[in-house]
């Protein structure tokens, strides 16, 4: 069935009817919804209908409203053709013109895997099977952490689904696949305009035999702040119902109360609990005393006592050296002989393969790897390297090498589609300076991306140095989301404003620090090992409130039913439990995602090249909306700019001519010049960084005091509260909510 045809499938319009573009498509009468109901009716399908069929089945007239998917997709494609990608692009690089090669998959169900053991014997039996397994087990991170680390988390479900059946049929020996959680939940909605829950559902259907693993940020779930306990518990419950198996639970500060909350939530949902200790420092260096071997062993005791099924060492920056691996893993193995040990690392320094082999030889049961073409640098060590190095030894992974080659070839092609996000645009090799700056692999490319968006792309070396200083200012933190984001936000703030550590500390009472830094010092994500840095904390907070103990413990339960009703009222459609949880964790991001997809339609049906850059003029292509519904589209032309700042984009859709009016946002910007704040004029408040105005705290005529919040800017998930440097009266506000500003753009004037 073709979408886009008129009344009863009439012939396409002639070229003389371009002006009658489908503005009123949803108002055309069509019997297609009625016929769809007939074709889906079980009595009709069984062939037992008679002349009373329609009278006896009034539900045939319960017609679904037209979705206008074709029109919405044309609107999106036209928007991209005129204004460029809807997701921010860090470097100017086009997607590869070559599609990735999808290797052949045999007909029939995939072979049994470790998930069959889990379904049969439950989490405890699964953990025993892992510990009793001979040889080294592997977790493949390609579907999550590898692309988070190399491609700024931008890989779309569209490309994951293509290779998923091959993985199910050829990698049944894997311990698990990490494919969810971490930054993917946020990025899916914020930048890819797709539902993260749908990704989980669709991958589960395609890969029924391999356990799925997710990264759960303890009491932060998949967000950057603490949530009410009932939200975390409900999230784990619904994730398990949608096919998640193993929950790697960590806390960005190794703050035990937050970890225990996440472990309890995952366990009560029926998931496998894998408690993860975040690793920093160097246990093999006697001079590094804050995060010593004794520190990690003591934390492990607490987690085992709490009932974890598996213990993980999460080396998020790739700081584990082979000697440290041997010391730490052998100590854990001696202390907990029956507990499965799982080691995670990044290959930023280039020592990842050596480190993971050392862990395996010291007694680790599972190590993390990525497809060869998605490994190395800030990603995980190479799957092929670990498979080859252990072949024929007691650690043999039993993963066939030839399958690894085909898998890598697919990802080499798929990676080319995301050239604009690839870390190799600026990072040509691994870098041992990670032992100094300790930037997590999953943050490295995102941090560089943020630096570009804030105009600091040429100063990334300075950002990395500032990252070290920011970390020390905050007390030498364990750095992993969200604590790593806090350090990164502070580092970029320092570079943006030309501040050294000494200057930032000296001016701490006057500066408008990023919101994440202020909230960390208030205690909103927990208590860091060794306590908060003083006097820096007191200078920044002044009289702001402070949270004592576990932040989530003081939060009242969220009324999920009331939130569901609110979402139904706003979006006017069926709202799922998954939607409610997305809104609970990311209310603004979810609202924008729903509004965007309501306007632009099912973007997951577009291939990645079209999604990112749109079609070329005269390009013909097909878009499969669902089985049996394919759009045949040709991009025809883009008009000159009209007086309203719009361009008309012409398409041919299933043989019919269509046109879309698109506002040229760049032309509109050029028609509007925003004033800059003059630094030598007292009372003119400028934007401290490029960003979007998400909140305005004052109005003209308001009295303000020194340090009072004026507005909130957001850039690439980093929020900054702009505060008043003086006491006075607001003379004029020059910005509105949702306005995009450049650095030093005038926000308001105080007199």
- Closest to 443 (Cα-Cα) out of 187, 209, 686: 187
**Tell me, which fold does domain 433-541 have in CATH?**
Cyclin A; domain 1 (1.10.472)
Residue 669: band (very low, low, confident or very high) from pLDDT cuts 50, 70, 90 = low
Distance between first and last Cα of the chain: 66
- Say whether pLDDT at 11 is over 70: no
Per-residue confidence band for 558, with pLDDT thresholds at 50, 70 and 90: very high
Residue among 374, 373, 414, 422 nearest 609 (CA): 414
Look up the pTM and report it: 0.83
> What are the residue boundaries of the structural domains of the chain, listed by start?
11-66, 70-84+614-668, 433-541, 672-750
**CATH number of this structure's domain 672-750:** 2.40.50.100
Percentage of the chain lying above the pLDDT 90 cut: 64
Kindly report the number of other CB atoms within 10 A of residue 344's CB atom. 29
- CATH code of 70-84+614-668, in short, is 3.10.600.10
- Which of 117-131, 441-455, 721-735 has the highest mean predicted lDDT (pLDDT)? 117-131
> Long-range contacts: 333-338, Cβ < 8 Å, 24+?
333/362, 333/363, 333/364, 335/297, 335/300, 335/301, 336/300, 336/304, 336/311, 338/131
Contact 327, 363 (CB under 8 A): no
State the Cα–Cα distance between residues 13 and 11, nearest whole angstrom: 7
Quote the CA–CA distance of 638 and 661 in Å, as a whole number. Answer: 10
Quick one: CA torsion of 544, 550, 556, 562, rounded to 10 degrees? 100
Phi first, then psi: give them for residue 292, nearest 5 degrees: -90, 175
6 pLDDT tier (thresholds 50, 70, 90): very low
State the Cα–Cα distance between residues 434 and 444, nearest whole angstrom.
10
Q: Give 679's pLDDT tier (boundaries 50, 70, 90).
A: confident
CA distance 379 to 145: 7
pLDDT at 129: 97
Structure tokens at 680: 């030598």
pLDDT at 680: 77
Contact 378/68 with Cβ under 8 angstroms?
Answer: no
- For 93-106, the pLDDT digits (tens) are 899 999 999 999 99
Q: Are strands 629-638 and 646-653 parallel, antiparallel or unpaired?
A: antiparallel
701 vs 487, 620, 704, 731, 746, CA distance in Å? Answer: 36, 57, 9, 6, 17
Show Cβ contacts of residue 177 under 8 Å, excluding neighbours closer than 6 positions. 139, 140, 142, 143, 167, 207, 210, 211, 212, 213
Arithmetic mean of pLDDT over the chain: 89
* Mean pLDDT for the stretch of residues 630-645: 91
Tens digit of each residue's pLDDT (9 = 90 or more) over 330-373 = 999 999 999 999 999 999 999 999 999 999 999 999 999 999 99
Mapping DSSP to helix (H, G, I), strand (E, B) and coil, where does residue 193 land?
A: coil
Residue with tokens 């007694």: 363
Phi, psi of 299 (to 5 degrees): -65, -40
H helices of 497-559, in order, are: 501-506, 515-522, 536-541
Band of residue 65 on the pLDDT scale cut at 50, 70, 90:
low
Q: How confident is the model at residue 276 (pLDDT cuts 50, 70, 90)?
A: very high
Does 21 score more than 80 pLDDT? no
Q: Which of 631, 538, 604 is nearest to 159 (CA)?
A: 604
């Amino acid at each position: 069935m073709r979408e886009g045809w008129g009344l009863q499938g009439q012939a396409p319009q002639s070229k003389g009817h371009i002006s009658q573009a489908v503005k009123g498509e949803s108002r055309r009468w069509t019997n297609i919804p009625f016929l769809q109901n007939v074709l889906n009716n079980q009595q009709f399908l069984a062939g037992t209908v008679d002349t009373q069929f329609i009278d006896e089945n009034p539900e045939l007239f319960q017609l679904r409203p037209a979705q206008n998917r074709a029109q919405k997709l044309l609107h999106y494609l036209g928007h991209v053709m005129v204004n460029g990608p809807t997701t921010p692009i860090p470097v100017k690089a086009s997607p590869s013109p070559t599609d990735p090669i999808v290797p052949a998959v045999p007909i029939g169900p995939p072979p049994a895997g470790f998930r069959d053991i889990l379904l049969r014997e439950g989490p405890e039996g699964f953990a025993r099977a892992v510990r009793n397994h001979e040889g080294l087990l592997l977790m493949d991170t390609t579907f999550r952490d590898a692309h988070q680390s190399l491609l700024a988390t931008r890989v779309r479900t569209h490309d994951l689904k293509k290779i998923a059946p091959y993985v199910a049929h050829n990698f049944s020996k894997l311990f698990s696949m990490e494919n969810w959680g971490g930054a993917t939940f946020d990025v899916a909605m914020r930048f890819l305009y797709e539902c993260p829950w749908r990704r989980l559902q669709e991958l589960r259907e395609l890969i029924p035999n391999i356990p799925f693993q997710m990264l759960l940020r303890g009491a932060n779930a998949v967000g950057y702040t603490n949530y009410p306990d009932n939200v975390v518990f409900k999230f784990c419950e619904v994730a398990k119902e949608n096919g998640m198996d193993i929950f790697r639970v960590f806390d960005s500060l190794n703050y035990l109360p937050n970890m225990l909350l996440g472990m309890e939530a995952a366990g009560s949902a029926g998931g496998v609990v894998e408690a993860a200790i975040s690793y920093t420092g160097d246990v093999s260096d006697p001079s590094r005393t804050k995060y010593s071997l004794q520190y990690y062993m003591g934390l492990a005791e607490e987690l085992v006592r709490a009932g974890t099924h598996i213990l993980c060492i999460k080396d998020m920056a790739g700081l584990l050296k082979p000697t440290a691996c041997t010391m730490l893993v052998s100590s854990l193995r001696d202390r907990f002989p029956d507990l499965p040990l799982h080691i995670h690392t990044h290959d930023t320094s280039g020592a990842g393969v050596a480190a993971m082999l050392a862990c395996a030889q010291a007694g680790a049961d599972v190590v993390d790897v990525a497809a060869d073409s998605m490994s190395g640098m800030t990603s995980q060590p190479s799957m092929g390297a670990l498979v080859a190095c252990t072949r024929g030894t007691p650690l043999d992974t039993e993963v066939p090498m030839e399958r690894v080659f085909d898998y890598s070839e697919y990802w080499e092609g798929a990676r080319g589609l995301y050239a604009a996000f690839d870390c190799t645009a600026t990072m040509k090799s691994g870098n041992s300076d990670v032992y100094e700056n300790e930037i997590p692999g999953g943050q490295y490319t995102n941090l560089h991306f943020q630096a570009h968006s804030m105009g600091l792309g040429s100063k990334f070396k300075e950002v990395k140095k500032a990252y070290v200083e920011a970390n020390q200012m905050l007390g030498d933190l364990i750095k992993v989301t969200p604590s790593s984001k806090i350090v990164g936000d502070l580092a970029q703030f320092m570079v943006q404003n030309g501040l050294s550590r000494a200057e930032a500390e000296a001016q701490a009472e006057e500066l408008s620090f990023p919101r994440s830094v202020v909230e960390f010092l208030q205690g909103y994500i927990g208590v860091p090992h060794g306590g908060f840095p003083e006097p820096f904390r007191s200078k920044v907070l002044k009289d702001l409130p402070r949270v004592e103990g576990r932040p989530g413990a003081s939060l009242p339960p969220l009324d999920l039913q009331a939130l569901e009703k609110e979402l139904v009222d706003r979006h006017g459609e069926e709202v799922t439990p998954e939607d409610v949880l997305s809104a609970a964790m990311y209310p603004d991001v979810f609202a924008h995602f729903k509004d965007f997809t309501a306007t632009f339609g099912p973007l997951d049906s577009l291939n990645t090249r079209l999604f990112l850059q749109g079609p070329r003029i005269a390009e013909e292509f097909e878009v499969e909306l669902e089985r049996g519904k394919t759009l045949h589209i040709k991009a025809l032309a883009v008009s000159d700019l009209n007086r309203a700042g719009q361009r008309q984009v012409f398409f041919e859709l299933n043989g019919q001519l269509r046109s879309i009016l698109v506002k040229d946002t760049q032309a509109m910007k050029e028609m509007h010049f925003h004033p800059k704040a003059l630094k030598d004029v007292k009372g003119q408040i400028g934007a401290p960084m490029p960003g979007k105005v998400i909140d305005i705290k004052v109005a003209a005529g308001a009295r303000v005091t020194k340090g009072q919040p004026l507005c909130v800017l957001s850039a690439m998930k980093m929020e900054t509260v702009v505060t008043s440097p003086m006491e006075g009266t607001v003379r004029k506000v020059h910005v509105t909510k949702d306005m995009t500003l450049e650095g030093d753009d005038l926000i308001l004037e105080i007199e």
